[in-house]
Structure 1
Amino acid sequence: MELQPGREALVQVAVATLWTAPEAVRAVDRPALAARTDIPGWIAGMDVDQQVGECVLSQLLLGERVLVTEVRPDGWAHVVAVEQPAPRLDPRGYPGWLPTAQLAPLVPYRRRSPEFVVDAGVTELRATPGGPVAVAGVVLGTRLHRAGPLFDGWLPLHVPGHAHPLWAPEADVVPLPAGPPTARQVLALAERLRDVVYIWGGVSSHGIDCSGLVHLAWRRFGVILPRDAVDQAGATTPVPVGEERPGDLYFFARPGSRIHHVGLVAGEPGADRRLLHACYRQRRVLDEPLPADRAATLVGTHRV
């Protein structure tokens, strides 16, 4: 089966990067463009300025659905990431470009089996239980469907682009929760990503940005929030400043400008305000007392 405009497809690499245009990619981006991506290698090969290049829009995880809107003969597809709401850009989801080699046609029957989510920071999928690695660098929050019973501590999963199930360590995957999580559960999950490097557009435990951290933390529990901070504010409920609870969201904007930053409330009620966020300036995820300059641009506290 080939990719066709107007039909859905699935990401078949561990982490796919969504680009503004095929012409925008740089020589340093080669590891992120391959049919078997190497996102840690891509990040390690960039300098601090390249890590925040605006040619990157977002990232998609293995098994994530996209709507294909155009296929070019040079190996690129324009897609809409339907699991990353972006109402300001497209009501269907986040639009951008992916290499066609990173996509596989949708196989509908696989969606009927129980869904599991990766709970480890990073794991590997193997061709057989304990056998050779088939997909490396599979990250926290990746959702895949179970393909059969456990075998000797390994769980078989349907994986796009693979005719036969691949195997994940049982300890690295859990059933997708049936109900919504508490905000504290989401905060605890986000805390596990402390010190992950800041990457503009990043949505993985290899590298992440501020709204990507919020999106991924909730995604791990099956709750889909918009991809960008300003849209996350529109999709959540304001609460009075001073009544925030751990796991709520702080939003920030400069005077006269739209929201440009988001982080999770990390402090206890009545205590000094703490912020867990992917920090552009320090280029990593950190938990810190709310800095004075952040407090000056705090425009809202919201609850999911």
Structure 2
Amino acid sequence: MSAETEQTLPPQTQDRQPGRETEMNPKPDFEPRYPGSGRMRGKVALITGGDSGIGRAIAVLFAREGADIAIVYLDENQDARETKRLVESEGSACIIIPGDIGDAAFARRAVEQTLAAFGRIDTLINNAAEQHPQHEIADITPDQLERTFRTNIFGLFFTTQAALPHLGRGSTIINTTSVTAYRGSPDLLDYSATKGAIVAFTRSLAKKLADQGIRVNGVAPGPIWTPLIPSTFPAEKVAKFGADTPLKRPGQPNEVASCFLFLACEDSSYMTGSVLHPNGGDPTES
């Protein structure tokens, strides 16, 4: 980072959402930082938004720890194929399932395809999301509001509803919320609202499923370098992304994926209804 300009990244944008990891400069760091120890051996993880960014880092880390992976994504086919290759290079099996989780019928099909391939689901990662900044609340159209809630909240509900009958004692659900749920974001009103709803959903579902032995937790990342960033913000904002955190930089996906692994495995066996905060030191109320 340049001390004079607070620049953390090269200025860049992408002209459509979802963004493509193949077009980012520099590429996000997704590689696990340590050898696997079998913490997910014999498990199956279904990851929405698993083609790139945080989802890719989770998929590769879980694979290194022994899990087979089902990746759900919208239409980023090149990124998804690369993540599949990376998972398989760790010695695990992987299927990729394109489609819109905001469609309840597709969410059911994604779960059915996972079961057909692997026979079980042990961990559900609800990670897919979209965001569309607007300076004024009046500029948030009904269509944008519907899209944001349909992906971020409806899709999470639909996927959870479809997967839940196939989860057993010891299974885990982990939902990706955001630092914006805690500190707010004046230009991401609808997105922040969905992420706050995810916190409430996580805590409520955790209480609902505790008697069944299914743990439900969340992760609230701060500014993480993923395809969502250059596909959302103008180049000048991307260039200073993460500079306003105490650590003065954006986080990398592999700095977040370890939170998901902790919550998915027995290391966190006495945690449910909790949220972890990999956010570069941004103060929040947890």
Looking at secondary structure, tell me which structure has more helix per residue.
2
Looking at secondary structure, tell me which structure has more strand per residue.
1
- The higher relative CO (CA closer than 8 Å, separation ≥ 6) is in 2
TM-score normalised by length of structure 2 = 0.29
TM-score normalised by length of structure 1 = 0.28
Larger radius of gyration: 1
